[in-house]
Amino acid sequence: AQSVTQLGSHVSVSEGALVLLRCNYSSSVPPYLFWYVQYPNQGLQLLLKYTSAATLVKGINGFEAEFKKSETSFHLTKPSAHMSDAAEYFCAVSVGNFGNEKLTFGTGTRLTIIP
């Protein structure tokens, strides 16, 4: 069974500063990894995904994440925070096999941007 741990339920950064949201996973088979963003009262929007190709994955809105197998991590970063980045971010894992499309989500990290 797979699992995801997101360190830090709340993260605050100043506008223009680096954003770093941490995610560690556990999986007995090579995983697919995802970051989703959720704005207030909205559904989840896919930011980026790792599906065993390049370990550095670039997503929308300037976000990227690096898959590090040795550290079982998939941290999300953005060089310069913008006010519009304020939202809740979820890391998720799937084993990716056909017929097993279940995603296992972390508990989320609420990102606040300080003007």
How many residues at the interface with other proteins, by CB under 8 A?
A: 29
Confirm or reject binding of residue 24 to other proteins (CB under 8 A).
no
User: Max CA-CA distance within the chain?
Assistant: 45
Whichever of 85 and 88 has its CB closer to other proteins, that residue is 88
Q: How far is CA 6 from the centre of its chain?
A: 9
Q: Which of 9, 11, 24 is nearest to 81 (CA)?
A: 11
Please classify residue 28 by burial: count the beta carbons closer than 10 Å to its beta carbon, then call 0-12 exposed, 13-18 middle and 19+ buried.
exposed
Contact range with other proteins by CB under 8 A, out of 19-27, 43-51, 66-74, 77-85: 43-51
Q: Which of residues 54-113 bind other proteins (CB under 8 A)?
A: 90, 92, 94, 96-108
Note the residues at the interface with other proteins (CB under 8 A): 4, 9, 32, 34, 36, 41-46, 49, 51, 90, 92, 94, 96-108
